[in-house]
Amino acid sequence: MPKVLRFLWAVHLLVIGLIAASRSGSTSIESESKENNRPNILFILVDDLGWGDVGFQRQKFTGDRSNIPNEIQTPNLDRLALQEGMILERHYVHSTCTGTRVSLQSGRLPVHVQTSLKYPEDPASGMPRNMVGMAEHLQEAGYHTHYVGKWDVGMATSKHTPRGRGYDSSLHYFEHKNDFWNQSCMQSTCCDPDEHGFDLVDLWDTDRPAFNLNGTNYEEFIFMDRMKEIIQNHSSHHGSDDNEPLFLFYAPHIAHCPLQVPKDYLDKFDFMEDDDAECQAQTGYIYPPDEDALPPKFSCRKQYHAMVNLLDDLVGSLVHEFKAQGLWDNTLLVFTSDNGGPTIMEESGSTNFDLRGGKYSDWEGGVRAVAFVSGGYLKPHRQGVRIAEMLHITDWYATLVALAGVTDLQERVRQTEDATQNFPPLDALNIWPYLAGEEDHSSRTEIPLSYHSLLQENYKLIWADEVGQAGWTGPIYPNASSTRSDMFWSVNCSEGCLFDVAKDRGEHVNLASQEPLRVQAMKHRLQELREGFFENNDTGIDLCPDDIDIPCACWMAVNYYGGFLGPYQQDTNDESP
Ligand SMILES: *[C@@H]1O[C@H](CO)[C@@H](O)[C@H](O)[C@H]1NC(C)=O
Ligand SMILES: *[C@@H]1O[C@H](CO)[C@@H](O)[C@H](O)[C@H]1NC(C)=O
Ligand SMILES: *[C@@H]1O[C@H](CO)[C@@H](O)[C@H](O)[C@H]1NC(C)=O
Ligand SMILES: *[C@@H]1O[C@H](CO)[C@@H](O)[C@H](O)[C@H]1NC(C)=O
Ligand SMILES: *[C@@H]1O[C@H](CO)[C@@H](O)[C@H](O)[C@H]1NC(C)=O
Ligand SMILES: *[C@@H]1O[C@H](CO)[C@@H](O)[C@H](O)[C@H]1NC(C)=O
């Protein structure tokens, strides 16, 4: 135990030292960017929100609001996206949470950092230690940086936590999901009853377990309280001082499973019909904590849309707080889902109408995220504009850093990242000139989505023997007439399938036989790109005693953090402890 303590203390000092060093080196950037009008940034990265689950998407398809099902109630998002913002029609992400989140924080495409879903007790889960996080640049440039919500970018060392990645403060959980009501661990071998079975909590406050917060409220309300405190505190200390803007990152748990929502929100959706039996079979982990509050017949779509409506209220409150504190006029809001809605009924109640497939697939329903930008920082002539061309979530890394006035990003990253690591170079591109209307086209023209698929401008190649989840979710899904077989069938793309996803976003027409040369060229290019694919395999040194027979993360949670998940390895690359 003293050994462990000593290491943690050393780690703590190192982090403090790094933060101090980066702060003191910041003067040149700050003075360089004095003339720039640097925005406050509110980044909202939603979990598992389906393409068709918000009003503005439905209105966009039909031209009016009359075809929006009553269950979709997102007035704040609709206003921010349609009237005050720009809808990003082709904003690509990874098909699952971790890849998207790591890609954004690291400035790499998922295929250049992490595509797999690992549990956080695996040290290679998330971003390798020596990659530089997006917020580190913003912090150096004078931003006050705060993280609230789901992290899922790694946990092994303190370098892996938001604090180690450039956030001044954080209130977050580490895993793919936890329990909305008591923040208990839900997706780790440490708490899985069939594995190690510990009753653990997953909620962390900057550099320690969030001891006094777990179990005090519905998770999003705990997050909201913290965000209000951050916004008010920022405003009273810095006002709207351009030299010290605010970067607030909110990664809500909504609309990821478990489908848990306060009863007053659920009651608002009483008018909805219950959905199918397959969905009801999963009431085991879809529940409000009060047994009496269980709807007589369970409906996951009802829970889901109540959650999305709650998210809409939360975004409304956040914007209200920015306005009340005089920050909104100079704030840029970025809103995006981390992947498409899951079509597996056990997991969700989302619909990706009118796209094909969903989460876990490379169909547009899995990787084309519902997304928009908004906020007072947008020039009036950009409000209501549709952004038609391709963007990738990793591009925000370079874009936000450019807006912060940093001009030598590539150089900084090269210098900071140890050259012996052989990390792929930054992929992030500054897309602001395109979004601001200064350039006609997106600088993002190519995205290798995975080992099997490649996007090049309007075209997508999918090249695999069996491409699953090939169905289309209906306008109301899941519904009484939808079955597993509607979604879960496969297409044989062993010769390569080709879609024009700009004209045919639903991927109905395979163009491969009409355009054999394009298929050939894209296959060739994908093969070439595969040579450079990279998957984080960074592993540090456990802080645990040698003679334990459980993963170090579980041991540390039980023996060191009082029942909370937290870092469990040294954060230096030093081989000798
Ligand atoms: C959280 O709630 C769940 C479901 O009621 C329960 O099984 C679990 O033990 C609770 N965990 C903690 C840490 O309180
Ligand atoms: C917070 O978690 C700790 C550790 O599991 C537990 O002892 C405590 O009761 C929890 N607090 C609440 C209010 O649930
Ligand atoms: C409020 O802001 C000040 C100045 O940035 C900071 O030192 C302090 O820790 C903040 N307090 C909270 C509760 O965030
Ligand atoms: C119900 O789901 C099926 C299968 O996804 C779909 O074809 C149908 O259009 C949906 N019905 C409604 C009313 O949306
Ligand atoms: C897919 O089609 C190819 C021939 O075009 C065939 O060799 C292969 O067995 C098929 N795969 C499956 C899973 O049906
Ligand atoms: C990690 O991956 C890199 C690049 O693929 C490889 O060179 C290296 O040997 C791997 N390291 C380990 C420990 O597997």
- DSSP SS3 for 160: helix
Q: Residue 421 — pLDDT band, cuts 50, 70, 90?
A: confident
Strand partners, 450: 453
Closest-approaching ligand to the CA atom of 23: 3
Tally of residues, the chain = 577
What mean pLDDT do residues 495-502 have? 98
Measure 486 CA to ligand 4 centroid, in angstroms: 9
Measure 233 CA to ligand 3 centroid, in angstroms: 6
Q: Are 398 and 107 in contact (CB under 8 A)?
A: yes
pLDDT of residue 1: 35
DSSP letters spanning 487-529: H---EEEEEEEEEETTT-TT-----TTT-HHHHHHHHHHHHHH
pLDDT of residue 61: 67
Q: Are 436 and 402 in contact (CB under 8 A)?
A: no
Backbone angles phi, psi at 525, to 5 degrees: -65, -40
* Residue having the nearest C-alpha atom to atom 3 of ligand 5: 494
Is 297 a residue whose pLDDT tops 90? no
Q: Distance between CA 282 and CA 346 in Å, rounded? A: 6
Residue with structure tokens 């959650």?
307
Q: Distance between CA 37 and CA 500 in Å, rounded? A: 39
Q: Give residue-wise pLDDT tens across range 467-476.
A: 999 999 999 8
Best probe residue, ligand 6, of 111, 531, 537 (max atoms within 8 Å of C-beta): 537
* Residue having the nearest C-alpha atom to atom 4 of ligand 2: 563
What average pLDDT does the chain have?
89
pLDDT of residue 346: 74
- DSSP SS3 for 564: strand
Q: Give residue-wise pLDDT tens across range 160-212.
A: 999 999 999 999 999 999 999 999 999 899 999 999 999 999 999 999 999 99
Closest-approaching ligand to the CA atom of 258: 1
Quick one: which atom of ligand 2 is closest to the CA of 199? 5
Is ligand 4 within 6 A of the CB of residue 476?
yes
Over pLDDT 90: what percentage of the chain?
Answer: 77
Measure 190 CA to ligand 1 centroid, in angstroms: 14
Q: Give residue-wise pLDDT tens across range 523-541.
A: 999 999 999 999 999 999 9
Is 2 a residue whose pLDDT tops 60? no
Is ligand 4 within 6 A of the CB of residue 125?
no
pLDDT of residue 24: 38
Q: Residue 479 — pLDDT band, cuts 50, 70, 90?
A: confident
What single-letter amino acid sits at 202?
D
Measure 249 CA to ligand 1 centroid, in angstroms: 28
Closest-approaching ligand to the CA atom of 145: 3
Q: Give residue-wise pLDDT tens across range 120-158.
A: 999 999 999 999 999 999 999 999 999 999 999 999 999
Is 78 a residue whose pLDDT tops 50? yes
Measure 116 CA to ligand 6 centroid, in angstroms: 16
Is 5 a residue whose pLDDT tops 90? no
Nearest in space to 427 (alpha carbons), one of 441, 439, 413: 413
pTM equals 0.92
What is the Rg, in whole angstroms, of the alpha carbon atoms belonging to the chain?
23
Beta-carbon contacts of 361 under 8 Å, excluding residues fewer than 6 positions away, are 95, 340, 367, 467, 468, 469
In this structure, of 28-37, 264-273, 284-293, the range with the lowest mean pLDDT score is 28-37
Q: Residue 291 — pLDDT band, cuts 50, 70, 90?
A: low
Burial grade of 190 (CB within 10 A; 0-12, 13-18, 19 or more)? buried
Q: Residue 67 — pLDDT band, cuts 50, 70, 90?
A: confident
Consecutive H or E run containing 219: helix 219-238
Q: Distance between CA 281 and CA 297 in Å, rounded? A: 11
Q: Distance between CA 298 and CA 275 in Å, rounded? A: 8
pLDDT of residue 259: 85
pLDDT of residue 221: 98
pLDDT of residue 23: 40
Helices vs strands, H then E, count in the chain: 17, 15
Instruction: Quickly count: other Cβ atoms within 10 Å of residue 239's Cβ.
Output: 12
Residue with structure tokens 């099902």?
69
Measure 356 CA to ligand 4 centroid, in angstroms: 13
Token code pair at residue 387: 């952004």
Consecutive H or E run containing 204: strand 204-205
pLDDT of residue 192: 92
Measure 248 CA to ligand 3 centroid, in angstroms: 14
Q: Residue 573 — pLDDT band, cuts 50, 70, 90?
A: low
In this structure, of 108-117, 367-376, 412-421, the range with the lowest mean pLDDT score is 412-421
Is ligand 2 within 6 A of the CB of residue 217?
no
Is ligand 1 within 6 A of the CB of residue 276?
no
Is 522 a residue whose pLDDT tops 80? yes
Q: Distance between CA 165 and CA 146 in Å, rounded? A: 11
**Which of residues 38 and 36 earns the better pLDDT score?**
38
Measure 170 CA to ligand 4 centroid, in angstroms: 41
Q: Give residue-wise pLDDT tens across range 193-204.
A: 999 999 999 999
